[in-house]
Amino acid sequence: MANIVAIVGRPNVGKSTLFNRLIERRQAIMDNESGVTRDRHYGYSEWNGKSFTVIDTGGYVEGSDDIFEGAIRTQVKEALQEANVILFMVDCITGLHGLDQDFANVVREVGKPVIIVANKADNTEKSYAANEFYALGLTDSIYAVSSVSGSGTGDLLDETVSHF
C-alpha cells in the first residue's frame, strides 16, 4: 500500500516551501478517470528507510475570495481522501487565524492521523507561539518547524513515518 502524506492549511502558511524541502523529485501521477497527469503537486520522499508520496495543496487559485470554493476545495478534499497522514500547517508568525479553524474542522471530519505543523518557528521566541495552536483541539502534540531553514523537520519526519 502506498504511503501518502498530504500538506493542507490556509494560504501562505508555507505548505509549498515545506513540500519543496521534503521531496527528492516530483512524481507524475496519472488520474485514471480523467486521463490527466497531475504532476505539479506530487513529490517522492524517503525518511528512515520508508518511502512516501507528498501532496502539496492549494496552489491552483490565487486571489480566490472563498478558498473552499472550486478548484482548491476539490484539490484539498482529494488529497485528504488519498492521504494516510495529514500534515495540517499553521503559521507561528501570524498566529491562530479564523481559516485555521475552518481547515481544522475539515481535517477533523476526515478522521485520519493528523500532525499539526507550526511553521515559521524560525527562532526560539517564535516557536513558543506554536502553543497557541493547541486551542484547535486537534492533537496532543505540535511540531514547530522552520520550512525555510529546515529546523524541526527531522522530528516532524520521524513522527510522520511512524504512521507507516
User: Residues comprising the binding site?
Assistant: 9-16, 56-60, 119-122
Cβ-based nearer residue to ligand GDP, 13 or 79 = 13
> Is residue 12 part of the contact set for ligand GDP (CB under 6 A)?
yes
Whether the Cβ atoms of residue 74 and residue 58 lie closer than 8 Å to each other: no
Q: Residue 123 Cβ, how far from ligand GDP at the closest point, in Å?
A: 10
Residue range at the interface with Mg ion (CB under 5 A); choices 55-63, 74-82, 118-126, 143-151: 55-63
Residue nearest to Mg ion (CB): 16
Whether the Cβ atoms of residue 78 and residue 36 lie closer than 8 Å to each other: no
Helices then strands, each counted (H, E), the chain: 5, 7
Residue range at the interface with Mg ion (CB under 5 A); choices 44-52, 56-64, 100-108, 120-128: 56-64
> Is residue 16 part of the contact set for Mg ion (CB under 5 A)?
yes
Between 140 and 159, how does the x/- string for binding to ligand GDP read (CB under 6 A)?
A: ------xxx-----------
Between 44 and 63, how does the x/- string for binding to ligand GDP read (CB under 6 A)?
A: --------------x-----
Cβ-count burial of 94 within 10 angstroms (0-12 exposed, 13-18 middle, 19+ buried)? middle
Whether the Cβ atoms of residue 90 and residue 129 lie closer than 8 Å to each other: no
From residue 20, how far is each of 10, 24, 83 by CA, in Å?
Answer: 17, 8, 18
Determine the Cα–Cα distance for residues 10 and 67; give it in Å rounded to an integer.
8
> Is residue 119 part of the contact set for ligand GDP (CB under 6 A)?
yes
Summarize as ranges the residues that interact with ligand GDP (CB under 6 A): 11-17, 58, 119-120, 122, 146-148
Summarize as ranges the residues that interact with Mg ion (CB under 5 A): 15-16, 59
